[in-house]
Amino acid sequence: MNFTQFGSKFTGDSGILRLMDDLGRAAQQEGVIMLGGGNPSRIPQAEEAFRTAMERMLDSEEGFERLIGNYDGPAGHQPFIAALVDLLRTEYGWEIDERNVVLTNGSQTAFFFLFNLVAGAFSDGSRKRILLPLAPEYIGYADVGIGDGLFTARRPQIDFLDGRLFKYRVDFAGLELGDDIGAICVSRPTNPTGNVLTEDEMDHLGCLARERGIPLIVDNAYGAPFPGIIYTEAIPRWEPHMIMCMSLSKLGMPGARTGIIIAPEEVTQAVTGMNAVMSLAPGGLGGALALDAVRTRSILRLSAEVIKPHYRRKAEQAVARLREEMEGVDYFIHKPEGAFFLWLWFRGMPISCAELYERLKARGVVVVPGHYFFPGLDEPWQHRYECIRMSYAGADDKVEAGIRIIAEEVRRAYTEG
Same domain for 168 and 284?
yes
Question: What whole-number distance in Å separates Cα of residue 313 and Cα of residue 82?
Answer: 34
Predicted confidence at residue 26, as pLDDT, reads 66
* pLDDT confidence band for 97 (50 / 70 / 90): very high
CATH code for the domain of 365: 3.90.1150.10
pLDDT of residue 66: 84
Count the Cβ atoms, other than its own, within 10 Å of residue 266: 9
Q: With CA atoms as reference, report the closest residue to 409 among 372, 365, 369.
A: 365
Containing structural domain, residue 110: 47-299
Residue pair 92/237 in contact (Cβ under 8 Å)? The answer is: yes
- Work out whether strand 341-346 and strand 331-334 pair parallel, antiparallel, or are unpaired: antiparallel
Instruction: Kindly give the interhelix angle for 353-362 and 396-416, rounded to the nearest 10 degrees.
Output: 120
Classify residue 4: in a domain, yes or no: no
Is residue 263 left, alpha or beta, with left meaning phi > 0 and alpha meaning psi from -120 to 50? beta
Predicted confidence (pLDDT) per residue in 194-228, tens digit: 999 999 999 999 999 999 999 999 999 999 999 99
With a pLDDT cut of 70, the percent of the chain lying above it is 96
Asked if residue 68 and residue 183 are part of one domain, the reply reads yes
User: Do 364 and 228 fall within a single domain?
Assistant: no
pTM of the model: 0.94
Does residue 7 lie in a domain region? Answer: no
Average pLDDT over residues 275-290: 95
Q: DSSP letter at 281?
A: S
Residues 73, 20, single domain; the answer is no
- Determine the Cα–Cα distance for residues 279 and 413; give it in Å rounded to an integer: 47
Q: Same domain, yes or no, for 54 and 192?
A: yes
Residue pair 33/396 in contact (Cβ under 8 Å)? The answer is no
Q: Is 190 helix (H, G, I), strand (E, B) or coil?
A: coil
Q: What is the DSSP string of 100-116?
A: GEEEESSHHHHHHHHHH
Structure confidence at residue 414 (pLDDT): 95
End position of a domain, from candidates 299, 328, 344:
299
The pLDDT value recorded for residue 8 is: 74
Q: Is 2 within the bounds of a domain?
A: no
pLDDT of residue 15: 63
- Whether residue 244 contacts residue 268, with contact meaning beta carbons closer than 8 Å, is answered with no
The total number of structural domains in the chain stands at: 2
CATH label of the domain that carries residue 223:
3.40.640.10
Q: Are 360 and 405 in contact (CB under 8 A)?
A: yes
Work out the average pLDDT over 154-178. Answer: 96
Last residue of a domain, one of 280, 299, 318: 299
Mean pLDDT computed over 89-107? 97
Nearest to 111 by CA among 78, 83, 151: 151
Taken in order 143, 286, 241, 227, the sign of the CA dihedral is negative
Q: Domain for residue 5, yes or no?
A: no
Average pLDDT, the chain: 94
**Cβ–Cβ < 8 Å for 244, 219:** no
User: Do residues 105 and 241 both lie within one domain?
Assistant: yes
Is 8 inside a domain boundary? Answer: no
Cis-peptide, bond into residue 225, ω within 30° of zero: yes
Q: What value does the mean pLDDT take over residues 375-386?
A: 95
Which of residues 257, 277, 299 is at a domain's end? 299
